[in-house]
Chains A and B, each alone.
Chain A
Amino acid sequence: MKKTGPVLTGIGASAGIAEGFVKIVEGIRDISKFNEGDILVTEITEPSMVIMMNKAAAIVTNLGGITSHPAILARELGIPCVVATKTATTMLKEGMKVKVDGTKGEVYIAEDDKE
């Protein structure tokens, strides 16, 4: 079987691997659609996203460095995080099932990739 590479790469900011459904978020109005275990995907996290961050299985952002808000919080939460991907919010689609590898800084499309 052909092994496909990552669909996205960035800085691995918090180690671990998690799978879940992508939710592209911008702020408070996205709270109601975010479920426990979803993958939080955003430009850069804001304080308004904390309820979602506390439910997320992983966090993926376009911007940020190793000591940015998403990176620090993901490490404290013990969940994988990939920052500085530049294009997470455009390359990943709502409801897509992905695997986030926070150790390597890579995001893959998972099998059974639809919610």
Chain B
Amino acid sequence: MIKNNQQQYPEWIDEFARSFHHAFKKMVPTSWGPVDGWALLSHLNGSFIRKLHQSVKKVKEKETSIKEVAESFSCPSTLRLALYFLALEYQFQSDKDKKQFKEIIEFFIDVLKEMIREDIFAYDRNITHTSEEIKNIVNSTPWIKADIPMAKEVGKLYSSLASLVYAEYRDFFPQDAHDIYGPYDVSSKFGNEAILLIKHFIKIRPKEIWPDLKSSYDDVKIFQVLKHVKFSCEVIGMHSLYEGDIVRNTVALAVRINNKFVDDIREVGRAHEEIARIATDHSRVYGDMSEAEVKLKFLEWLCYQFFGFFRIANVDWRPTQEMMRSVKDKQIPNRCEIKEFPSWEEYRSSKNFEIFWLKDLYHNSH
């Protein structure tokens, strides 16, 4: 616990603040859409928090293991951002129920600790595997010795998949289908300074939210070994940053599409072309959506982050009537109106931001 003036609060809140501020200060929210998510979240007034609380209670009553709950999420970045959105909703909730929200947050912090090996809010790395797991991956993966043409085709595969995810989940929720794990030291197998990144695309055929999507791709993993390249990421694992050219410095690759390893460059080429076409076709849907439909889609994305968890709780994952009523008549811009993120001092201490309210959960004055 941290003691700050009269307050005590758990260390994870400072880690949360540090990682989110580090990531968001580099972002430019004004291009984000198809709706101003921050504005929408500010109107929920606890309706999603109440839905989640009901499910947390059910899961606890069933005595479901934390491990099983952790496995119900697509990736750690999903849960990190889900916690951020919950904190935002709580910040604006007019009739705050501290006990209720504290129970939810502490439950999911324990789940996040189950998913991550170090630094649960991923300040600059996203370590989800043990060294034993990495050793097994390195020894059992059918590696391809990478050359520039293959590295370029895999780059295009990544680009097509990332664009498909962006088309399906837009600006606030792409992390629900896309994460990067690492960097892992694999120098014992691949030589000095070799690192492994695992780039995972999951939930890329979300038929529950896009029933008309025509795609046969469910899950793609790219295992990429790089040398002389420095990698870092953020609280959103797919916000990858490199020092060094990754195409020229890729020394080994493996590509797994729908649980089958692919080693033919032509097959990788066919896959990225097909996925790019799916992404392009799907991007058209937003042009035909009404304002009401866009709001509902945002609520669906919000709930879909917990799709596996709601299944464990035996609760309908879809937005509740209360959630839909809370945003129905609200004027919400179609692009974010926040121009920049606040300073560090303001973010960690002002009542205008969620960190203050997270710390307040542990303040016993009332």
Residues of chain A whose beta carbon lies under 8 Å from any beta carbon of chain B: 15-16, 27-28, 31, 43-44, 46-51, 53-54, 63-69, 72-73, 75-78, 84
Contacts and interface: CB of A to CB of B under 8 A. Distances in A.
Given A48-B284, A50-B276, A54-B272, A15 B156 contact: no
Contact of A50 (B27, B30, B160, B239): B160
Given A28-B283, A77-B152, A63 B31 contact: yes
B234 interface: yes
A67 B167 contact: no
B247 A73 contact: no
Q: Chain B contact residues: over half helix, strand or loop, or mixed?
A: helix
A54 B283 contact: no
B279 interface: yes
Contacts of A28: 280, 283-284
B284 to A, nearest CB: 7
Contacts of A54: 156, 159-160, 272, 276
Given A28-B284, A67-B241, A69-B163, 14 more contacts: A28-B283, A44-B31, A46-B166, A47-B166, A48-B279, A48-B284, A50-B276, A50-B280, A64-B31, A66-B241, A67-B234, A75-B242, A76-B158, A78-B247
B283 A47 contact: yes
A51 B158 contact: no
Q: Which 4 A-B pairs have the closest CB atoms?
A: A78-B247, A50-B163, A47-B167, A48-B283
B162 A72 contact: yes
Contacts of A77: 152, 155-156, 158-159, 247
Interface of B: 23, 26-28, 30-31, 151-152, 155-156, 158-160, 162-164, 166-167, 234, 236, 238-242, 245-248, 272, 276-277, 279-280, 282-284
A78 B154 CA distance: 11
Contacts of B241: 66-67, 75
Nearest to A84: B28
B28 A72 contact: no
Contacts of B156: 54, 77
Contacts of A69: 162-163, 166
A17 to B, nearest CB: 12
Nearest to B170: A47
A58 to B, nearest CB: 14
A63 B164 contact: no
Contacts of B242: 75
Given A50-B163, A72-B238, A75-B240, A67 B247 contact: no
A76 B155 contact: yes
B28 A63 contact: yes
B280 A68 contact: no
Nearest to B238: A72
B23 A67 contact: yes
B159 A73 contact: yes
A78 to B, nearest CB: 3
Contacts of B26: 65-67
